[in-house]
Structure formats: C-alpha cells, structure tokens
Amino acid sequence: MSARELTRVEVLSRVEAGTLSLGSAAQLIGVSYRQVKRLARRYRAKGPTGLRHRSAGRPSNHARSAKEHERVLALVREKYSGPIDERFGPTLAAAHLAKEEGITVFFTTHYMEEAERVAQRIAIIDHGRIVADGTALALKKQTKTKSLEDAFIRLTGEAIREEEVTGLDRMRMHHRVWGGQR
C-alpha cells in the first residue's frame, strides 16, 4: 500500500473506533465529506484492502506487449549500447528510437531544455492533470513566452522545483530504457 493509503487506513480505523468524526477524517486525509463516507463504507465492507487503489497490480493501459517491449530493448542494446564512452543515455536513445524506428517512448523530466531538444510532443502536467500539450514551439506561442520553462510557469503558476527531481527518478528512467543493463 502507498503512504497515502496507509494514512487513510489509520484515519478510518479511528472513525470505526468512534474516536474521530467523519468531518475531521475528511479534513485529515484531504477529501470531501461525501468521499470519506464512501471510503468508510468500503473500509467497513473490505477492511484495509478496500482502500487500495483499484488499479494497483494491473498493467498500464499504455503498456506495450511483452513482445514489443523485448523488441525495443533488443534495438536499444544492439544500436545504442556499448562501451561507456560510446553508449547513448536514455534521453538520446528515446530520441533515436522515435526518429529512426518510429517508436514512441514516453519519459518524464523536469528539465525543460531537455524536453525542448528531444521531444516531438510535450505535455505540461500540473498536480496530475494535463494543462497543455503540443510542440515546444506551439506551447511557447500559446503562452506568448520565449522559453519552455516560462511557458510552464505561465501554465501552472509555479516555478519548476529542482528538489523534486531525484536520482531515483533518473535510475528508474535508465532501468526502463536499458532494462537494467549498465
């Protein structure tokens, strides 16, 4: 279970024990009163497992088939890996896969220069919601800005937060593209 789901279990167990009201529970977990009533009903019926996200453990709707995944990995290993000074990083490999093989690779980044340089299409996501998408040029035109970072700020009202980009994010991307190969 995620940290959010564990928090919900803890709060709803207090509701069940009668030490916390539904209104207070709603405030603690950041949902509406109606939503906390639904969660409490699921918690009573199924216990803590009733609070797990219903998509947990299921494959993504955007996942490639295992055969396609292996084909892409084989292409990456064959064409873009090698000695450290010759190998492609995940971003450059994704760009070459798109250009040479017609294979779209989704990746996330907080580095707007990288997105502008590599991506053919960019989606600006704010708190899990796509607020705009298109080419870098189209996004800059739409927002009447000179840089993609300025467009991001105009669309979301927030500066890009460097501290949110972690080494773990980079490692996950590397693993997705290279399949654990070094």
Residue-wise pLDDT for 48-61, tens only, equals 888 877 777 777 77
Domain spans, the chain:
3-51, 66-178
Q: At 52, is the secondary structure helix, strand, or coil?
A: coil
In eight-state DSSP terms, residue 91 is H
- How far apart, in Å, are the Cα atoms of 172 and each of 12, 37, 38, 80, 129? 33, 37, 35, 18, 22
In this model, does residue 167 exceed pLDDT 80?
Answer: no
Q: 102: pLDDT confidence band, cut at 50, 70 and 90?
A: confident
Q: Does this model's pTM top 0.85?
A: no
In this model, does residue 161 exceed pLDDT 60?
Answer: no
CB 112 within 8 A of CB 144: no
Q: Which residue has the higher pLDDT, 82 or 11?
A: 11
Structure tokens, 2: 């995620």
- How far apart, in Å, are the Cα atoms of 83 and each of 70, 86, 87, 89, 129? 21, 5, 6, 12, 40
CB 132 within 8 A of CB 157: no
Question: So what's the pLDDT on residue 117?
Answer: 76
Distance CA 23, CA 98 (A): 50
Q: Which residue has the higher pLDDT, 53 or 46?
A: 46
Structure tokens, 35: 């939503």
Average confidence (pLDDT) over 129-148? 89
Question: So what's the pLDDT on residue 87?
Answer: 67
Distance CA 169, CA 95 (A): 19
Provide the mean pLDDT of the chain: 79
